[in-house]
Amino acid sequence: MLGYFKHPELTSEVIDKDGWFHTGDIGIFEENRFLKITDRKKEIFKTSGGKYITPQLIENKLKESRFIEQAMIIGENQKFAAALIVPAFPFLKDWAQRKGVDIGHSNEDISDNKEVRKRIAEELEHVNKTLGSYETVKKFELLPREFSIDKGEMTPKMSLKRKAILENFKEKVKDIFD
């Protein structure tokens, strides 16, 4: 690419002084010949249907729910968007006690409980109504623990490290898309 036609200011934003075109992707050179894209700078992904999804927008809407502590939207190169959701365990325990529902005591019990899944599915439906059809979250998995800095899943400023989360919960991801 030589630049944007008759727009030198836009060209200077994406092509540096050495002539490198900055796409927003992160990559490595293999065998000093091939550029392999390994990650993205911007947090956006494309489904197999060619639709672009901005996960942070959906994640932030999900986290507005008192039932959801953390969420990560997934679905790059998949047919649909899905979510890995960390329930708000303390709130769910209070909710269950008020409703007289036995959801167990451990995080594993709570994240496996059918009543909890049903309630979080209702929260997800509420968010899905605000999204375009291609953005809607079709499936989700509840996780038994929060994402953490110690496990390499979050940065010190509490941003998600998506690759690490996908690796650490690859079985849950596999369950969603299989």
Average pLDDT (36-58) is 83
Asked if pLDDT for residue 67 goes beyond 70, the answer is: yes
- What was the pLDDT predicted at 41? 61
Full domain range(s) for residue 31: 8-40
* 126 occurs within a structural domain: yes
DSSP code string of 116-163: HHHHHHHHHHHHHTTS-TTTSEEEEEE-SS---TTTTSB-TT--B-HH
* 110 occurs within a structural domain: yes
pLDDT digits (tens, 9 = 90+) for 82-122: 999 999 999 999 999 999 999 999 999 999 999 999 999 99
pLDDT digits (tens, 9 = 90+) for 139-174: 999 999 999 999 999 988 888 999 999 999 999 999
Task: Tell me, yes or no, whether 23 and 51 share the same domain.
Answer: no
Could you give the percent of the chain with pLDDT greater than 90? 68
Task: Tell me, yes or no, whether 15 and 52 share the same domain.
Answer: no
Which DSSP state fits 21? B
pTM of the predicted model, to two decimals?
A: 0.78
- State how far the Cα of 67 lies from the Cα of 57, in Å rounded to an integer: 18
- What was the pLDDT predicted at 40? 60
* 91 occurs within a structural domain: yes
Model confidence at 11, in pLDDT bands (50, 70, 90)?
confident
Instruction: Identify the CATH number of the domain in which residue 84 sits.
Output: 3.30.300.30
* 129 occurs within a structural domain: yes
pLDDT digits (tens, 9 = 90+) for 26-45: 677 888 888 877 666 667 88
